């Protein structure tokens, strides 16, 4: 079995994957298809003081399929799945005819992509930092709620910020979590 790249309509990757899996099952082609995959990466995003895990597509507009390609499966993918426009192909010339042929991923490419997916399973999410040193922030939680300050340092691995706040006329360094502040 080889890995192939399928093109989909923008932001319809997951729906196209679901339709394709149903069509494969309906036509009894489970023996020819090992898996259908939408490569995603999970990240933790902090917005308005709330942490949220979001899935970001690694390859927007594409779905991967591991299959033994035959004319019936190729027909289903090209014609029966809404939102799917076919394979990544290359032109091949046979005598006087030129045709577009589905090209499988090289083994090293497939391993790299699948390795990223396996890494994502073990690693639940990465924190996306939308703060930079020098940003003005407002504290929204904790004993210093309502104070404004400036980001002095960012500790991504701990999801913490060091913020300089003026309290009683003196600069004070506070350590706050990403969820306790918002950008001004």
Residue 28 backbone dihedrals phi, psi, to 5 degrees:
70, 35
> What CATH number does the domain containing 143 carry?
2.30.30.30
Centre a 10 Å sphere on the Cβ of residue 176 and count the other Cβ atoms it contains.
21
Residues 121 and 105 in one domain: yes
> What CATH number does the domain containing 93 carry?
3.30.70.940
Does residue 116 have a pLDDT over 70? no
Residues 117 and 66 in one domain: yes
> Mean pLDDT, to the nearest integer, of 165-179?
89
User: Residues 173, 175, 180, CA angle at the centre, nearest 5°?
Assistant: 120
Residues 96 and 142 in one domain: no
Residues 58 and 101 in one domain: yes
- 155 vs 157, more confident: 155
> Mean pLDDT, to the nearest integer, of 45-51?
69
Q: Are 152 and 173 in contact (CB under 8 A)?
A: yes
Q: Are 90 and 103 in contact (CB under 8 A)?
A: yes
Domain interval for residue 178: 136-183
Q: How confident is the model at residue 110 (pLDDT cuts 50, 70, 90)?
A: confident
User: Strand 84-87 and strand 2-8: pairing?
Assistant: antiparallel
Residues 23 and 105 in one domain: yes
Residues 112 and 26 in one domain: yes
pTM: 0.63
Residues 10 and 89 in one domain: yes
What is the count of structural domains for the chain? 2
Does residue 136 have a pLDDT over 60? yes
Centre a 10 Å sphere on the Cβ of residue 151 and count the other Cβ atoms it contains.
19
């Amino acid at each position: 079995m080889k890995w192939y790249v399928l093109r989909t309509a923008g932001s319809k990757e997951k729906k196209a994957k679901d339709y394709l899996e149903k069509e494969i099952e309906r036509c009894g082609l489970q023996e020819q298809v090992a898996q259908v995959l939408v490569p995603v990466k999970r990240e933790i995003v902090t917005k308005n003081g709330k942490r949220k895990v979001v899935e970001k597509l690694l390859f927007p507009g594409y779905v991967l399929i591991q299959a033994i390609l035959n004319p019936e499966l190729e027909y289903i993918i090209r014609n029966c799945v809404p939102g799917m426009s076919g394979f990544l192909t290359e032109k091949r010339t046979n005598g006087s005819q030129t045709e577009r042929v589905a090209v499988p991923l090289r083994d090293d490419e497939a391993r790299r992509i699948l390795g990223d997916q396996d890494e994502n399973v073990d690693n639940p999410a990465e924190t996306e930092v939308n703060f930079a040193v020098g940003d003005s922030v407002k504290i929204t939680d904790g004993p210093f709620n309502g104070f404004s300050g400036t980001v002095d340092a960012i500790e991504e691995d701990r999801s913490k910020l060091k913020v300089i706040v003026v309290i009683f006329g003196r600069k004070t360094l506070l350590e706050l979590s990403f969820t306790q502040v918002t950008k001004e």
